[in-house]
Structure formats: structure tokens, C-alpha cells
């Protein structure tokens, strides 16, 4: 384990480039054409296999100047087959990014499945829209991966852009969408990604939960992928802990978002009937909000003031929340797991307990503790180490095991 007391030297520069674009992603994304037929699969029963490309089109990949190496990138938006938490076939959208220059390393060009963090609940919040608009708050990190010559694929997850509600923080649906996005990238005409290309997974926050689930599901769900490792940052690895942690805090809106996401995944769960009148007002308001709106509008609320009954004492809600817990299945590859003690959204305990569960399963875990204030700052502070760790897995270097 490496105990990192301060941010890496490049953090200030990275954050300085982020702030102007992170302040208004919702407004920029809202300008997109929400009636865009691309995001709607053909009518009738969906018969495509997981990872099969339904349709694709070239797209923009825009990012503000960052001081990183500039490179030309081929960009596609894709609609591909996947499965929901109950195994039903669904269509999921996403983005495939491939550097224009030939890959300079040995072997085929690697692929990073970048499991994106929270973007909200509305179709206008879809990561593929933000990547095209230049308002994607994780683009600076994605670009550093592209600068290494790697292809990057970013899923929108279930229901962001595509029909139906976004099953936010539903671990199985997220993990399957991540793995199927890699399958789709390999099948995408013109992308030039080899079937045996090395694959690594990276994600933070919601993306950390998705990355862990993807690594755990891969041996049985997508065993053909040449997976080398998974980087998991500040994961929403235990939703009961997260729900308790955000109660009464500025991050409360993300707990409410999780309730909406699980309701989308499991319609039988009671939600409106457990809320007060004010709780139902907030529920209606948050239904199409994006990340910055969620962060700004719903803070400092508490579950006891918005509910008529404690949902976490109910067997149905506790059962579904527990099902989303990461660390239930042993990944076949090393995992980098990191978290800041000063995280203000996801409790540090969620990371340490995931480490214990993964180690108990026999997983090789490279564990890093940070002392960087705030949830979002740690993502950027850790980004250089994350990319270096992924490079080590791609190149087959020895891995640290802190179990």
C-alpha cells in the first residue's frame, strides 16, 4: 500500500483546465437534439446479441486545451446490444475513440473501457452527448489515455439517451454495459481493434462500482476478452453505506438519484408511496437532472424528513441495495483500488470494505489511500497514477498485492 498524503504535482494544472468546463455541463448538453433517432433501436423485439453493433455514426470528440499532447482521434457513437439486471436484452449507447496514428507499442492497440462517473438521470445527460459537445468532465483523463495510443470506449449505461429510465448504480447492468461496450468496439467497422487486443477497465465513483462489477462479471459474462486489470476509484461499492453517508449532507441528491435508478431497474420497489409531499416534489424535479444540477439543488435534505417510512428498514429495499454491493465475485485480474480518507460523497469505509471482500476472494489488490479533500478532486489527483497502473498491466509488469 502507498499512503499518498498530497495531490500529485500535475493535479493543479489538470483542475485548472477542468473548472471552466465543469461548471455548466447540463446547459451545454441540453442544447442537443433530444429527439435524435440514433438513440432509439429499431422497433420490434430486440434480438441482437450482447456487444453486437446495432448502428453507429461518426461523431465529434471535443475537449478544451489541457496542455496534454494533442492528437487526432477517430470518434464514433454506437448503439449496441447488452442486458439489464434481469438478463433482458436492451440497447445501450456509447462512444468509441481511436487515435488516428498507428499504435507504437508491441502487439495490437489496447482498449480502455472507461466506466464513466455520475452524469444524472435525463437523456440530455448522456456521456456520449457531452463527449461530442466538449462538456465531458472526465475528458481530460480520457485524453491522457488516448495520448498513449490506446483506444477508449465509454458506455452511456442503460437508459441514458436510450429509451427507458437510467438504472443508476445497478451493478450488474452497469458491468454488463461496460463489457459489451468493448465487444462492440472490437466489432465496429473501421475502428481497427483486434479481437485479441489487451483490455483494461477504469472507473471512479459510479464508474468505480461499474468497473468492479465488470471485472467480477468478466470471467463468466465475457471470458473471451483479454482483460489485464481494473482500476477502481472511490467506488459506490455499498449503497447502504453511501445512503447513510449522504444523509443530511451536500451530496444528498446523489442518494435520491440512486433511489430513482434502482426504481427504474426494479419497478416493483415502492418509492413515491414512501415519500412525503415534499419528497415527491423532489422526485419529480430530479427525474431529468444532470450532475451539476443534482449537486446544486438537493443538498442538506435528509431521508427522515422526506419519507413516511424508513426505506432502509424494509426488506425489499435492503435486499436490492445489498445486491448492488461490489466484491461478491472474484475477478480474474489484478485490481487497483483507491480512495481518499477525505472523500465527502462516498465514505472511505466503502473502499476499505471492498478491499477486504476482494482480498477474501483471493483477488490481487493494489490499494492506495489518498488524503486529498473532496470526492471529485481525488479523481484528478489520482489520474496520472491510474493511467500509469493501466500501462503496467498492458505491458505485463509485476503488480503490487496489498492483501
| 312-360 residue pLDDT tens | 999 999 999 999 999 999 999 999 999 999 999 999 999 999 999 999 9
Both 339 and 305 in a single domain? no
Provide mean pLDDT across the span 51-63.
91
Both 32 and 137 in a single domain? yes
Check pLDDT > 90 for residue 3: no
Check pLDDT > 50 for residue 371: yes
Residue ending a domain, among 321, 351, 372, is 321
Per-residue pLDDT of 281-296, as tens digits, reads 999 999 999 999 999 9
Both 273 and 226 in a single domain? no
What total number of domains does the chain contain?
A: 2
* pLDDT score recorded for residue 62: 78
Residue 402 located in a structural domain: no
Residue 401 located in a structural domain: no
> What is the share, in percent, of the chain residues with pLDDT greater than 70?
89
Query: Residue 20 — pLDDT band, cuts 50, 70, 90?
Result: very low
Distant-in-sequence, close-in-space partners of 95: CB < 8 Å, separation ≥ 6? 59, 61, 75, 76, 77, 78, 127, 128, 131, 132, 153, 154, 156
Provide mean pLDDT across the span 119-146.
91
Which grid cell sits at 185?
468496439
Q: What is the DSSP letter of 249?
A: S
Residue ending a domain, among 321, 340, 372, is 321
* pLDDT score recorded for residue 61: 86
Residue 403 located in a structural domain: no
Check pLDDT > 60 for residue 12: no
Rounded to whole angstroms, how far apart are CA atoms 203 and 152? 12
Q: What is the DSSP letter of 39?
A: G
Residue 203 located in a structural domain: yes
Both 80 and 171 in a single domain? yes
* pLDDT score recorded for residue 234: 97
Compare 8 and 318 and report the one with higher pLDDT. 318
Check pLDDT > 70 for residue 33: no
Both 146 and 79 in a single domain? yes
Both 112 and 163 in a single domain? yes
Per-residue pLDDT of 91-115, as tens digits, reads 999 999 999 999 998 999 999 999 9
Range scoring the smallest mean pLDDT among 30-39, 129-138, 194-203, 335-344? 30-39
Check pLDDT > 80 for residue 64: no
Rounded to whole angstroms, how far apart are CA atoms 377 and 14? 10
Both 201 and 348 in a single domain? yes
Q: Check which CATH number belongs to the domain holding 20 and give it.
A: 3.40.50.1820
Check pLDDT > 90 for residue 36: no
Provide mean pLDDT across the span 163-176.
96
Using CA atoms, how far residue 221 sits from 82, 162, 183, 307, 364, in Å, is: 11, 23, 11, 38, 20
Rounded (10°) angle between helices 11-22 and 375-394: 120
Residue ending a domain, among 261, 287, 321, is 321
Q: What is the DSSP letter of 156?
A: -
Residue 53 located in a structural domain: yes
Provide mean pLDDT across the span 216-225.
98
Residue 400 located in a structural domain: no
Average pLDDT, the chain: 90
Both 220 and 263 in a single domain? no
Both 261 and 306 in a single domain? yes
Check pLDDT > 50 for residue 204: yes
Rounded to whole angstroms, how far apart are CA atoms 268 and 263? 7
* pLDDT score recorded for residue 71: 62
Both 296 and 313 in a single domain? yes
Provide mean pLDDT across the span 230-255.
96
Q: What is the DSSP letter of 395?
A: T
Provide mean pLDDT across the span 165-184.
97
Residue 189 located in a structural domain: yes
Both 252 and 187 in a single domain? no
Q: How far is CA 188 from the centre of its chain?
A: 21
Can you list the pairs that 15-18 forms with residues at least 24 positions away whose Cβ atoms lie under 8 Å? 15/377, 15/380, 17/64, 17/65, 17/66, 17/67, 17/140, 18/137, 18/140, 18/380
For residues 85 and 170, the answer to whether their CB atoms sit within 8 Å is yes
Handedness of CA 102, 389, 370, 361 (dihedral sign): positive
Residue 372 located in a structural domain: yes
Domain limits for position 261: 247-321
> Which of 333, 286, 362, 321 has its CA nearest to residue 209?
321
Both 225 and 314 in a single domain? no
Amino acid at each position: 500500500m502507498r499512503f499518498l498524503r498530497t495531490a500529485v504535482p500535475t493535479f493543479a494544472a489538470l483542475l485548472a483546465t477542468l473548472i471552466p468546463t465543469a461548471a455548466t455541463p447540463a446547459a451545454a448538453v441540453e442544447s442537443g437534439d433530444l429527439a435524435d433517432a440514433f438513440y432509439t433501436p429499431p422497433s420490434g423485439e430486440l434480438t441482437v446479441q450482447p456487444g453486437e453493433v446495432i448502428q453507429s455514426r461518426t461523431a465529434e470528440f471535443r475537449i478544451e486545451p489541457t496542455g496534454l499532447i494533442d492528437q487526432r482521434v477517430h470518434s464514433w457513437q454506437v448503439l449496441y446490444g447488452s442486458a439489464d439486471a434481469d438478463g433482458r436484452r436492451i440497447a445501450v449507447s456509447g462512444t468509441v475513440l481511436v487515435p488516428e496514428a498507428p499504435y507504437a507499442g508491441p502487439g495490437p492497440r489496447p482498449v480502455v473501457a472507461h466506466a464513466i462517473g455520475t452524469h444524472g438521470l435525463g437523456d440530455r445527460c448522456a456521456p456520449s452527448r457531452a463527449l461530442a459537445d466538449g462538456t465531458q468532465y472526465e475528458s481530460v483523463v480520457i485524453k491522457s489515455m488516448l495520448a498513449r495510443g490506446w483506444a477508449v470506449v465509454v458506455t452511456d449505461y442503460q437508459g441514458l439517451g436510450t429509451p427507458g429510465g437510467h438504472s443508476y448504480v445497478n451493478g450488474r447492468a452497469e458491468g454488463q454495459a461496460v463489457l459489451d461496450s468493448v465487444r462492440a468496439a472490437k466489432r465496429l467497422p473501421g475502428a481497427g481493434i483486434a479481437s485479441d487486443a489487451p483490455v483494461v477497465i477504469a472507473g471512479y465513483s459510479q464508474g468505480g462500482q461499474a468497473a468492479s462489477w465488470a471485472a467480477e462479471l468478466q470471467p463468466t459474462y465475457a471470458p473471451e476478452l483479454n482483460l489485464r486489470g481494473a482500476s477502481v476509484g472511490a467506488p459506490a461499492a455499498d449503497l447502504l453505506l453511501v445512503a447513510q453517508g449522504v444523509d443530511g449532507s451536500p451530496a444528498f441528491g446523489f442518494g435520491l438519484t440512486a433511489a430513482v435508478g434502482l426504481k427504474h431497474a426494479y419497478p416493483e420497489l415502492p418509492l413515491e408511496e414512501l415519500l412525503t409531499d415534499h419528497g415527491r416534489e423532489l422526485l419529480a424535479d430530479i427525474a431529468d437532472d444532470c450532475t451539476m444540477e443534482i449537486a446544486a439543488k438537493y443538498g442538506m435534505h435528509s431521508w427522515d424528513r422526506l419519507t413516511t417510512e424508513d426505506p432502509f428498514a424494509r426488506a425489499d429495499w435492503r435486499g436490492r441495495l445489498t445486491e448492488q454491493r461490489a466484491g461478491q465475485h472474484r475477478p480474474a485480474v489484478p485490481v487497483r483500488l483507491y480512495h481518499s480518507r477525505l472523500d465527502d460523497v462516498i465514505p472511505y469505509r466503502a473502499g476499505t470494505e471492498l478491499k477486504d471482500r476482494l482480498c477474501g476472494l483471493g483477488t490481487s489488490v493494489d490499494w492506495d489511500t489518498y488524503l486529498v479533500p473532496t470526492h471529485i478532486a481525488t479523481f484528478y489527483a489520482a489520474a496520472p497514477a491510474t493511467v500509469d497502473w493501466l500501462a503496467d498491466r498492458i505491458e505485463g509488469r509485476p503488480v503490487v498485492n496489498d492483501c
